[in-house]
């Protein structure tokens, strides 16, 4: 298989199913702890999550609220009337023989996420379900750990709106950022609390009398599983696009199937061929009464939600006159924005402007857990003071460092400009609180 | 009178006045079980040791008057249908699939009964998974009717009805998904209550059809039924379908009489399909009601004829899903241990839920269900309660219908609509035909159990059919 650029005759059609595990204290339908990661197997169980005869599910109200919040954050409509359904299928990790999920009346419908290029990715639905137990295979034996059984899971399904892996990755990062802002999931791919299954196919684009015709959705669809990082997702999607293009250009149709990403082989491999859609025999879960939301309840949930990344970004730019680039970095994690804004507040009294604080927070990789925002401001203030007084001293030390590190200086002059970092470090030993940029400028002046 | 023949009320009185101890009472029941269970096959498991231990504890507690007041079933031997999970005690659902299954927890109702001081004397036989109307579908052999051992006792709560009718216990629990309490009660001359759906927690009771299962009981009198219901009724945080309504004292209106009450007779329940003698017996009963001062009004429930069809779609659909967990990975025995009736319902339900059939069957049946609810709502605008026969026929001989599932299903034709509508029904004796008991059911709107007890009590006091006992 070659890595040549794609032929323009085919356009990728990609949809995404993402599962996000909520970090509620208890499981979805019982009071067992939902914190299963790294726990001793089968210690967080009870008759409900073991599916013992006679046990009944009682829904976790917090999980439902959080699912609705995710829906609101993704611009979805919240259903006034919703219900749980049973999805019937047999698998050893499913103790009841069915999964409690939502079928035709999910909590949230029809939302979107806007990518940085302005394109809107449609969200088909956001629904609530329960996680399955975890199977481990050891030789001939399979072991079942029920600690994960019944952990709340939110499934977010998109329209087939993605055209390339880049869009998918941007969407995923945004989604991850949103659920982390909401503080409802750690959304850690490696721990398995964020899982994704892209559906990939290609459609033909034909040029006819200079008229571009985009055919309808392709007749097949390939689902890719076993993706546990954004990087894998990118590689798997790109691989699939190449693989399917090759098949299509031979006038054949790719098989409708589930494939898995094999990181060792750097390719997707066939797992299961779907001859027809599975029949899950969905029907309304009789053990859980339908759920109704009033407009008032939905409003209350919306009021509880923190400011979301997009809004925060816009506000940071406007309120503090930051560049989009800086604001984007500062809003990547909610904690960083909070830190920045706290420092700005303190900085005001010392007449330190937000831009300066933003630069410090971004460039110096501040240890936010150990340096309080007020301390940071104090350092900036102190630095300003010493800066004025010790200009002569800085010159003196710079000269000394240059003299003592002739090899580095020669390297620098011969084009290895990155050794400047080493020299900055040497100078900094004498000025631990100094701004690296200041030293860099001083050094560069001398080395010209 | 022997101790095991006592009612809850009488036994409570005797224990309070120290006429006898709980150990004596429990021993009398155990004695009766030993004597007759071999013939009647009412119990799958008898918990003799545990029962006597509990009885001794109850006797210790009974010396304190406050405890006697607070624990309303203190020292009373109760049998549980073998669908009720009992911690540490085998719970088989009368199926070989679960023949060695020992639950790790008590059903919510079992806990309530135990907390009220009751003595669990054993687990009763039933149709496997509660699938059946005769008790013959048990993998542990059929239960026999104590009034004539050639006849079926009715099902599915066969052993529970028989254990009360034959005085092997003072009261027993049952489940009613389509008539499984009311029908055996009527075949055994005992009182059976199918409560409002959601009035008693289903937590820990092996599910048959979750949207229909009602958790009730068998007693010797209407008053006992109300006393027992005082213990079991109420919202449970472990069952999301239980109703939040506060629990009242269900005995409070027993003595009010029924003068002036409007009693409806649903004409679709009393048709030519009804056994002639049973029909005559029922007409006598209606006369008694009139004599007691009730106003008798003919009522129409037009969708009744679709009841059994809707029921036999919704119920197997839920059954097929509820039995999926017995997939052979746990509980010891695999799917080959399911009996014919369970297999039949799994196949029916799997079919009716399958894509392409769901709309034509399940969805349609749910629409019928809504119409049946409306039928009852309309009726209860006009009357306080309805009375009707429980079963279109008298008890039949063992084996008579076992190879004709449709005929067997039709024996539920008068009871299933109450389950579809979630309304309560009280089944009680109205006499005998050729030595075999006949019963009626009193149906009321949701949460009308107080009124059902009031009506049932008035009739029971006027007739006293309950005092007749089978010659074992």
How many of the other CB atoms lie within 10 Å of CB of A190? 8
Q: How far is A279 from chain B (nearest CA, A)?
A: 6
Domain of residue B73, residue span? 3-467
The pLDDT value recorded for residue A425 is 84
In chain A, residues with a C-beta closer than 8 Å to the C-beta of B370 are: none
The pLDDT of residue A436 is 74
Residue A445's pLDDT band (cuts 50, 70, 90): confident
Q: Is the pLDDT of residue B455 over 60?
A: yes
A91 touches chain B (CB under 8 A): no
Task: Report the helix count and the strand count for chain B, using DSSP H and E.
Answer: 15, 11
Q: Has residue B446 got a pLDDT over 50? A: yes
Residue A337 has a pLDDT of 87
Q: What's the rounded mean pLDDT across residues B370-377?
A: 97
Residues A327, A412, single domain; the answer is no
Query: What are the residue numbers of the active site of B?
Result: 81, 156, 180
pLDDT at A211 over 90: no
In chain B, what percentage of residues exceed pLDDT 90? 93
- Note which residues in 250-309 of chain A have CB less than 8 A from chain B: 277, 279, 281-283, 286-289
Average the pLDDT over each of A53-57, A414-418, B434-438 and give the range with the smallest value: A414-418
pLDDT band at A208 (very low <50, low <70, confident <90, very high): low
Q: Is the dihedral of CA B113, B117, B118, B123 positive or negative?
A: positive
- Of A364, A389, A414, the position where a domain reaches its end is A389
Model confidence at B360: pLDDT above 90? yes
The minimal CB distance from B355 to the residues A56, A95, A279 is found for: A279
Residue B341 φ then ψ, to 5°: -65, -40
Residues A329, A262, single domain; the answer is: no
Inter-chain CB proximity B353 and A92 less than 8 Å: no
Cβ pair B427, B192 in contact under 8 A: yes
pLDDT at A385: 55
Residue B300 pLDDT > 60: yes
Q: Is the peptide bond before A156 cis (omega within 30 degrees of 0)?
A: no
Assess if residue A357 is contained within a domain: yes
Q: Give CA–CA dist A322/B456, Å, rounded.
A: 80
Our count of domains for chain B comes to 1
- Predicted pLDDT of residue A276: 61
Domain boundary pick from A270, A302, A334: A302
What was the pLDDT predicted at A99? 97
CATH code: domain of residue B438: 3.90.1300.10
Subunit contact A88:B324, Cβ cutoff 8 A: yes
Average pLDDT of the segment spanning A88-96: 94
pLDDT at residue A277 in the model:
65
Residue A238 lies in a domain: yes
CA distance A355 to A317: 10
Q: With an 8 Å Cβ cutoff, are B202 and A52 in contact?
A: no
Instruction: Answer yes or no: do A64 and A44 share one domain.
Output: yes
pLDDT for A367 equals: 72
The mean predicted confidence, pLDDT, of chain B is: 96
| Least Cα separation, residue A274 to chain B (angstroms) | 16
Give the mean model confidence (pLDDT) for residues B125-130. Answer: 98
Q: Give the residue-averaged pLDDT of B319-332.
A: 94
Beta-bridge mates of residue B438: B431
pLDDT value at position A5?
42
* Those residues with Cβ within 8 angstroms of residue B246's Cβ, 6 or more apart along the chain or in another chain: none
Q: In angstroms, how far is CA B363 from the centroid of its own chain?
A: 28
Helix, strand, or coil here: A202?
Answer: strand
Looking at the structure, tell me whether residues A313 and A292 fall in a common domain: no
Q: Which of A302, A332, A359 is the last residue of a domain?
A: A302
Residue in chain A closest to B206 (alpha carbons) equals A54
Q: In this structure, what token pair is assigned to residue B32?
A: 């009766």
Q: What is the pLDDT of residues B93-122, one digit of tens each?
A: 999 999 999 999 999 999 999 999 999 999
B80 to each of B141, B239, B316, how far by Cα in Å?
18, 20, 24
DSSP string, B76-89: -EEEEETTB-BTTB
Percent share of chain B, pLDDT over 70? 100
Q: Does residue A7 register a pLDDT over 60?
A: no
pLDDT(A4) > 50: no
Give the pLDDT score at A424: 85
> Does residue A272 fall inside a structural domain?
yes
What's the pLDDT band for A444 if we cut at 50, 70, 90? confident
SS3 state at B415: coil
**Do A289 and A326 share a structural domain?**
no
Q: CB under 8 Å, gap of 24 or more: what pairs does A111-115 form? A: A111/A71, A111/A74, A111/A75, A111/A76, A111/A77, A112/A74, A112/A75, A113/A74, A113/A75, A113/A171, A113/A174, A113/A175, A114/A310, A115/A167, A115/A170, A115/A171, A115/A174
Mean pLDDT in residue range A197-202: 94
User: Is there a single domain that holds both residue A90 and residue A224?
Assistant: yes
A27-36, A412-421, B17-26, B195-204: the lowest-pLDDT one: A412-421
Taking the Cβ of residue B350 and every Cβ of chain A, the question of whether any pair is shorter than 8 Å is answered with yes
Minimum distance, in Å, between the CA of residue A64 and any CA atom of chain B: 15
Which of A328-337, B290-299, B390-399, B453-462 shows the lowest per-residue confidence on average (mean pLDDT)? A328-337
Q: How many helices (H) and strands (E) does chain A have?
A: 14, 17
Find the CATH number of the domain harbouring A398. 1.10.10
pLDDT tier at B319, thresholds 50, 70, 90: very high
Cα B443 from Cα B390, distance rounded (Å) = 11
Residue A340 banded pLDDT, cuts 50, 70, 90: confident
Question: Residue A184 — very low, low, confident or very high, per pLDDT cuts 50/70/90?
Answer: very high
The total of structural domains in chain A comes to: 3
Closest-CA distance, A278 to chain B, in angstroms, reads 10
For the segment A291-300, the average pLDDT, to the nearest whole number, is 94
Over the stretch B218-259, which tens digit does the pLDDT of each residue have? 999 999 999 999 999 999 999 999 999 999 999 999 999 999
Domain of residue A298, residue span: 10-302
Percent of chain A with pLDDT over 90: 55
What's the mean pLDDT in B465-470?
94
Question: Which of B98, B103, B202 faces A56 most closely, judged by CB atoms?
Answer: B202
- The answer to whether B93 contacts A53, with C-beta atoms less than 8 Å apart, is yes
Asked whether B197 and B422 are in contact (CB, 8 A), the reply is yes
Q: Does A379 touch chain B (CB under 8 A)?
A: no
How much is the pLDDT for A6?
Answer: 41
A105 shares a domain with A202:
yes
B-contacting residues in A 339-378 (Cβ below 8 Å): none
Residues 6+ apart with CB under 8 A from A209: none
Contact A56 B101 (CB under 8 A): no
Look at residue A212 and tell me whether its pLDDT is greater than 70.
no
Residues of A in contact with B353 (CB under 8 A): 88, 281-283
Q: How far is CA A79 from the centre of its chain?
A: 26
Question: What is the tens place of the pLDDT at every residue in B38-67?
Answer: 999 999 999 999 999 999 999 999 888 777
Q: Residue A321 pLDDT > 70, yes or no? A: yes
């Amino acid at each position: 298989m070659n890595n040549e650029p794609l032929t323009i005759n085919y356009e990728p059609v990609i949809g995404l199913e993402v599962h996000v595990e909520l970090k509620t204290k208890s499981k979805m339908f019982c009071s067992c702890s939902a914190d299963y990661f790294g726990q001793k197997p089968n210690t967080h169980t009870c008759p409900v999550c073991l599916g013992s005869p006679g046990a009944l599910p009682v829904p976790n109200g917090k999980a439902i609220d959080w699912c609705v919040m995710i829906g609101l954050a993704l611009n979805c409509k919240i259903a006034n009337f919703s219900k749980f359904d049973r999805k019937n299928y047999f698998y050893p990790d499913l103790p009841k023989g069915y999964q409690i999920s939502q079928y035709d009346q999910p909590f949230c419908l029809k939302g979107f996420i806007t990518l940085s290029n302005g394109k809107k990715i449609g969200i088909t639905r956001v629904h609530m379900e329960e996680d399955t137990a975890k199977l481990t295979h050891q030789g001939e034996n399979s072991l079942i750990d029920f600690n994960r059984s019944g952990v709340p899971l939110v499934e977010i399904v998109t329209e087939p709106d993605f055209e390339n892996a880049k869009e998918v990755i941007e969407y995923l990062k945004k989604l991850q950022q949103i659920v982390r802002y909401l503080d409802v999931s750690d959304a850690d791919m490696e721990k398995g609390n964020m899982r994704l299954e892209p559906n990939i196919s290609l459609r033909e684009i034909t040029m006819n009398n200079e008229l571009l015709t985009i055919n309808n959705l392709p007749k097949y669809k390939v689902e890719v599983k076993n993706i546990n990082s954004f990087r894998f997702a990118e590689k798997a999607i790109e691989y699939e696009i190449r693989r399917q293009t090759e098949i299509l250009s031979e006038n054949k149709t790719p098989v409708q199937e589930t494939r898995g990403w094999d990181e060792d082989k750097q390719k997707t491999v066939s797992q299961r061929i779907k001859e027809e859609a599975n029949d899950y025999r969905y029907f309304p879960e009789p053990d859980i009464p339908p759920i109704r939301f009033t407009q008032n309840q939905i409003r209350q949930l919306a009021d509880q939600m923190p400011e979301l990344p997009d809004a925060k970004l816009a506000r940071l730019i406007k309120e503090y006159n930051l560049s989009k680039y800086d604001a984007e970095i500062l809003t990547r994690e909610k904690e960083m924005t909070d830190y920045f804004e706290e420092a700005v507040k303190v900085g005001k009294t010392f007449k330190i402007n937000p831009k300066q604080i933003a630069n410090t927070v971004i460039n110096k990789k501040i240890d936010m857990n150990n340096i309080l925002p007020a301390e940071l401001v104090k350092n900036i203030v102190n630095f300003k003071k010493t800066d004025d007084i010790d200009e002569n001293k800085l010159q003196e030390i710079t000269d000394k460092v240059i003299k003592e590190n002739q090899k580095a200086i020669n390297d620098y002059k011969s084009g290895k400009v990155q050794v400047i970092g080493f020299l900055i470090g040497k100078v900094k030993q004498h000025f631990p609180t100094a701004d690296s940029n200041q030293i860099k400028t001083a050094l560069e002046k001398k080395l010209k | 009178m022997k101790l095991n023949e006592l009612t809850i009320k009488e036994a409570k009185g005797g224990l309070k006045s120290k006429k006898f101890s709980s150990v004596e009472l429990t021993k009398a029941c155990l004695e009766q079980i030993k004597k007759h269970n071999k013939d009647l096959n009412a119990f799958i498991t008898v918990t003799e040791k545990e029962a006597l231990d509990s009885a001794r504890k109850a006797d210790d507690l009974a010396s304190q008057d406050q405890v006697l007041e607070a624990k309303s079933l203190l020292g009373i031997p109760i049998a549980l249908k073998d669908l009720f999970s009992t911690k540490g005690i085998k719970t088989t659902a009368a199926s070989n699939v679960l023949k060695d299954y020992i639950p790790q927890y008590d059903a919510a109702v079992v806990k309530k009964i135990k907390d009220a001081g009751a003595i669990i004397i054993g687990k009763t036989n039933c149709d496997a998974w509660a699938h059946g109307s005769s008790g013959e579908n048990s993998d542990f052999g059929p239960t026999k009717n104590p009034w004539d051992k050639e006849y079926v006792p009715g099902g599915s709560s066969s052993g529970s009805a028989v254990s009360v009718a034959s005085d092997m216990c003072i009261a027993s629990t049952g489940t009613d998904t389509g008539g499984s309490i009311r029908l055996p009660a009527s075949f055994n001359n005992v009182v059976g209550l199918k409560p409002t759906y959601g009035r008693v927690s289903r937590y820990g009771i092996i599910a048959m059809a979750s949207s229909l299962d009602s958790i009730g009981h068998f007693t010797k009198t209407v008053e006992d039924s109300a006393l027992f219901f005082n213990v079991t009724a109420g919202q449970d945080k472990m069952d999301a379908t239980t109703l939040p309504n506060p629990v009242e004292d269900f005995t409070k209106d027993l003595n009010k009489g029924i003068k002036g009450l409007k009693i409806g007779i649903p004409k679709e329940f009393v048709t030519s399909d009804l056994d002639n003698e049973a029909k005559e017996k029922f007409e006598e009963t209606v006369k008694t009601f009139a004599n007691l001062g009730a106003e008798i009004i003919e009522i129409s429930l037009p969708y009744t004829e679709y009841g059994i069809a809707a029921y036999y779609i919704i119920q197997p659909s839920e059954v097929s899903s509820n039995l999926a967990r017995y997939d052979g990975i746990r509980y010891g025995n695999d799917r080959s241990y399911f009996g014919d009736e369970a297999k039949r319902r799994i196949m029916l339900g799997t079919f009716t839920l399958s894509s392409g059939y769901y709309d034509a069957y399940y969805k349609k049946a749910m629409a019928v269900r809504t119409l049946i609810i409306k039928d009852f709502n309309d009726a209860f605008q006009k009357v306080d309660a309805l009375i009707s026969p429980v079963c279109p026929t008298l008890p039949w001989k063992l084996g008579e219908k076992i190879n004709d599932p449709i005929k067997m299903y039709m024996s539920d034709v008068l009871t299933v609509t109450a389950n579809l509508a979630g309304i309560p029904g009280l089944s009680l004796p109205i006499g005998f035909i050729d030595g075999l008991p006949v019963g009626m059911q009193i149906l009321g709107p949701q949460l009308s159990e107080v009124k059902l007890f009031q009506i049932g009590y008035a009739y029971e006091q006027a007739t006293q059919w309950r005092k007749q006992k089978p010659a074992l």
